[in-house]
Amino acid sequence: MALQDHPNAARATFAQSGAMPPRALDRDSFWEFADRAKEATEALAGQRMEALPLLSVEAMRRVCMQYRFFTIDYIKDLALLLAKLPFGGLRSLLGQILAEELGEGDPAKAHPEVYDRFLASIGVPAEELGRRLPRNGAILEALSDELAERSPAFGVGLRGMGGECLCQTYLSVMFEHLREHPYIRAHADGIEWEFWTIHTGEVDIVHGELTRQAIDDYIREEPAALPELALGYERSITAWNRFWQNIFEECAPRRGATA
């Protein structure tokens, strides 16, 4: 298991990065840290995703397909997190987001289903859909284990905040570059865009803002949760970046980076 995938990696990376020690955090410095982390993630996503339009059609499909495993496991982890949280605004909001992820009673509207319709519409064969990268399987399983074992505050940073705020940032950048791929441009009229409409538009921006407000309220009520929250969020960033790094290394090696 790589250092970044280890349950104690968050503590290690905090120390190595020279970031402020978690004990010194207050609400303002936590949000400054979160904003800086989000900006850095956005920049990294931009560097990584700018290769998307240059990929062969097959490599572009493989990259898109691998994301489905994140969205599937996010639902499971969100349910785990809900089980651990105290009653309150954050639990209520995340419960609403989970219901939306599951299609609010209509399984055809569950986000993994919606995403799979997008994949089918860009030509990903149904038999490819189960081929999760083992390295990314290990990352996702480690996140679920940590969520189960550690404090609710760590879980909020890991999945409540990381899944919603970070994911939206990455998906927006991905969508921006994906739309420029020659195959996507040529087939735009036949592509199922619903997943992207949900995740890169107003709905997800509002989700991000509501989540941030609910987490801020949670911190006000439980200031002692801050260090664990920050560690969980940093762990989430590390895992998320590694998840995408693995995808590009394995699905889009440089030799395949021509159209």
- For binding to Fe ion (CB under 5 A), which residues are involved? 111
Nearest distance, CB of residue 114 and Fe ion, angstroms: 8
- Residue 218 CA to residue 88 CA, distance in Å, equals 8
Nearest distance, CB of residue 101 and Fe ion, angstroms: 5
Provide the 8-state DSSP code for 122: T
Nearest distance, CB of residue 71 and Fe ion, angstroms: 6
Q: Pick between residue 62 and residue 111 the one whose CB is nearest to Fe ion.
A: 111
Query: Which one-letter amino acid corresponds to residue 117?
Result: R
Q: Pick between residue 71 and residue 238 the one whose CB is nearest to Fe ion.
A: 71
Q: Pick between residue 140 and residue 231 the one whose CB is nearest to Fe ion.
A: 140
Please identify the residue of the shown chain whose CB is closest to the bound Fe ion: 111
Q: Pick between residue 78 and residue 139 the one whose CB is nearest to Fe ion.
A: 78
The beta-carbon contacts of 240-243 under 8 Å, at least 24 apart in sequence, are 240/41, 240/162, 240/166, 240/167, 240/170, 241/41, 241/44, 242/2, 242/4, 242/5, 242/139, 243/70, 243/136, 243/139, 243/140
Contact 74, 137 (CB under 8 A): no
Nearest distance, CB of residue 98 and Fe ion, angstroms: 10
> Closest by alpha carbon to 258, among 123, 57, 63, 67?
57
Q: Pick between residue 9 and residue 97 the one whose CB is nearest to Fe ion.
A: 97
Ramachandran bin of 26, using left for φ above 0, alpha for ψ from -120 to 50, beta for the remaining angles: beta
Nearest distance, CB of residue 255 and Fe ion, angstroms: 33
- Residue 118 CA to residue 122 CA, distance in Å, equals 7
